Structure 1
Amino acid sequence: MTAMPASSENSHLIGQQGGRKSLNTPALVLEKAAMLRNIERMAAFASEKGVSLRPHAKTHKSVDIATLQLEAGAKGICCAKLGEAEALAAAGPIPNILITSPVVSAPAIARLAKIHGETEALMVVADHPGNVSNLARAFGEDAPLGILIDIDPGIHRTGVASPDAALALAREIARQPSLRYRGVQFYCGLHQHIKSYAERRAAIIERTGYLRGIVDQLADAGFVPEIISGGGTGTHEIDAELGLFTELQVGSYVFMDNEYGECELFGDAENFEAALFVDARIVSCNTPGMATVDAGFKALSTDGGTPVVTDGAPDGAGFIFMGDEHGGLLAADHEFEHGAAVTLQVPHCDPTVNLHDVYHVVDGDTVVDIWPVTARGRSR
């Protein structure tokens, strides 16, 4: 595993039984055994269903976790941004990276050309002929860049907007000797968090029908996709059942945050295990039934609701954000202990991870390692 950052103020706790309770907080905490079970479970699922895994590293931004996923059988990884790919490839090596957002600006394309020369089997998505032309000028026939056509699933964020546009882009890519058409990407991000399994399944069946029509049109024109990449933690079981994707871009399964914890991910099975937490500490408790902890907006993402208190407070205790540095615990008639440790399950894992420098990897209450968040802040 990667050497921990020398500046980590909690490194002296590694190996100390019960050291988790002494962490300098707020601290991002990873329960390793639960994470490994999640990785193994998803790998076994993919093997059974005959589909490949390309886990999304935007979730964890960690060369250590990406390596574990590859060792478990993943064919490669996804990165949302070029900067993530650069960081993970430099710390790895991590081969077979797909960058799932278009790389458009001239400086970014120059960086893409550099990492392409240093990384095995790099691919990127495109959704515009102008981008394809600019990419083609930056690469050579001796080492063509792999391209997936990004297809808009209906949210109008990125992706070609029609079957005809997909076909036109495939023809444009094929005309460029420095590029190699590899297939398509189709990521239904908004569908991942539909709470009802039945409603989510119905929505994905409809969207997959749309994608199937595009794939058929491409194939009829001689552009059979080698790769059909997409799906996610929320839809992976349904995606595998429908049998169109060749690989799944699952991400949050490795940690399970509150957003996914509230969804029926499976028709007849338990969800993945929660493995990612922020440990905090009570710094004030002068108001009856209320305490203040040292974790606020700077320690926890806010776009997925509020964290769930899993330890250090009574069952059912609530959490409220109280500013940049603080959060509040609410439990009527409870007398909180000043200085006590509190564990919070994160609302949304991806942006929460991006707020921290390191993972404190634990086995029970023992800190067993400290891993860097390798691609923290690499949003360009």
Structure 2
Amino acid sequence: MDDHTLHAHLIGQQGSRDSLNTPVLVLDIDALDRNIARMAALAAGHGVALRPHAKTHKSVAIARRQIDAGAVGQCCAKIGEAEVLADGGIAGLLITSPVVAPKAVERLADLARRSSGLMATVDNDAVAIRIARALDAVDATLDVIIDVDPGIRRTGVASAEAAVALAETIAGLPQLRLRGVQFYCGAQQHIESYAERRAAIEERTAYLQGVIAALGAAGFAPEIVTGSGTGSHVIDLELGVFTELQAGSYVFMDRQYLDCDLADAPAPPFEPALLVDARVVSANHDALVTIDAGFKSLSTDGGPASVHRGAAATTHFAFMGDEHAALIGPGIGGKLGAGDPVSLIVPHCDPTVNLYDYYHVVSGETLVDLWPVDARGRTR
């Protein structure tokens, strides 16, 4: 039975959150809107555009809220995500990963005809030519961004010289228009110490400035410098090199980012809005209870979840298999019984969201809506 069938009748009923069949993906709409407003105000205050990354939420509804708050569009990791958002009426999309498969390139050309403000990243001459040919076949054009490798060797041109060479190739392709560069320091986003993270970002930003200078000297000064993330947004705004931010996880704040000192401040600038509500299914031991959320309910790449409510925040979480996890703490078996609810802060929001069909949108203790995870599974 799907989420809508199970829970739609609970919408608007006071206290209906407690009646949800668990495990369930819960979105606190009040916290979500506060997070969206805070990041929008911060970017606007620095005169920087905000193009949040939709790979985090995969949701047309959330994208609309971000754009209504001032975002210029959305970033998408894959063309499948971009297709879903475009079909939902979202404009200003940037595909941040290279599109290379023959069928994917055809889809990109088709999307360029119907998605206003679409941009895509490129890091390879042959792929740029392939995309241009596909665009020519459908009489379309596309704005492109050169992806610059920040040092992790995942994607991006590997030097300033390579960036200039690719810009020269793009300049010879009338179907493409070069708009700027992308630079995402993914390896630095989760450095927990603010001082250490800042030092790492400053070093990488100096490298980026060298690439920008080389492009400018060759006649390709970038109009757009896009990148950054939730972990580095404060630092990047202060350094003043980016013209737009791609931060995504700030809307939800998973445990990985809550473990970081994001803003050199006593409290994080954003609050947990995404939770998994679970329920105790067994409480037969003094120091351990079992809940109904395991590997299939929470991403495991970010370590353990943490307790948001229902038990002490210091309670230890441990996966116990596909369907279960343990909450471990002194006397917890006497405090929680079978059927009692607990809410968890997810370890890593992006892949956790991809496990669910719907957000269960709550305000306080009341279910107020069900939003589909529109781009769930759109990995190609």
TM-score band (shorter)?
over 0.9
Call closer, same or farther: CA 1:142–1:350 in 2, change over 3 Å. Answer: same
Equivalent in the alignment of 1:353: 353
Equivalent in the alignment of 2:177: 180
Percent of aligned positions that are identical: 59
Secondary structure of the structure 2 residue equivalent to 1:139: helix
Equivalent in the alignment of 1:67: 64
The aligned amino acid for 2:26 is V
Q: Distance in 2 between matches of 1:183 and 1:46?
A: 19
The aligned amino acid for 2:314 is G
Q: Are 1:309 and 2:310 an aligned pair?
A: no
Secondary structure of the structure 1 residue equivalent to 2:229: coil
Equivalent in the alignment of 1:318: 316
Instruction: State how many pairs are aligned.
Output: 375
Equivalent in the alignment of 2:106: 110
What TM-score do you get using the length of structure 1 for normalisation? Answer: 0.96
Shift of the alpha carbon at 1:333? 2.1
Note the residue ranges of structure 1 that are not aligned, 5 or more in a row. none
**Mean CA deviation greater in 364-373 or 330-339:** 330-339
Equivalent in the alignment of 1:157: 154
Q: Distance in 2 between matches of 1:134 and 1:8?
A: 45
Call closer, same or farther: CA 1:81–1:246 in 2, change over 3 Å. Answer: same
2:81/2:379 contact within 8 Å kept: yes
Shift of the alpha carbon at 1:274? 0.7
Which of 117, 120, 123 is equivalent to 2:116?
120
Q: Map of 1:133-144 to 2, 5 A cutoff?
A: 133-140=129-136, 143-144=140-141
Secondary structure of the structure 2 residue equivalent to 1:9: helix
Secondary structure of the structure 1 residue equivalent to 2:359: strand
Per-residue CA distance 1:127-183 (angstroms, 9 max, x = gap): 111101100101139631111000000000000001100000000001000111111
Equivalent in the alignment of 1:245: 242
Q: Map of 1:157-236 to 2, 5 A cutoff?
A: 157-236=154-233
Q: Distance in 1 between matches of 2:254 and 2:322?
A: 21
The aligned amino acid for 1:332 is P
Equivalent in the alignment of 1:280: 278
Equivalent in the alignment of 2:365: 365
Note the residue ranges of structure 2 that are not aligned, 5 or more in a row. none
Secondary structure of the structure 2 residue equivalent to 1:193: coil
Per-residue CA distance 1:256-296 (angstroms, 9 max, x = gap): 00000010100236311111100001111122221111100
Equivalent in the alignment of 2:287: 289
Per-residue CA distance 1:193-237 (angstroms, 9 max, x = gap): 111111111111110110001101101111011111000111111
Secondary structure of the structure 1 residue equivalent to 2:253: coil
Q: CA RMSD in A?
A: 1.3
Secondary structure of the structure 2 residue equivalent to 1:300: coil
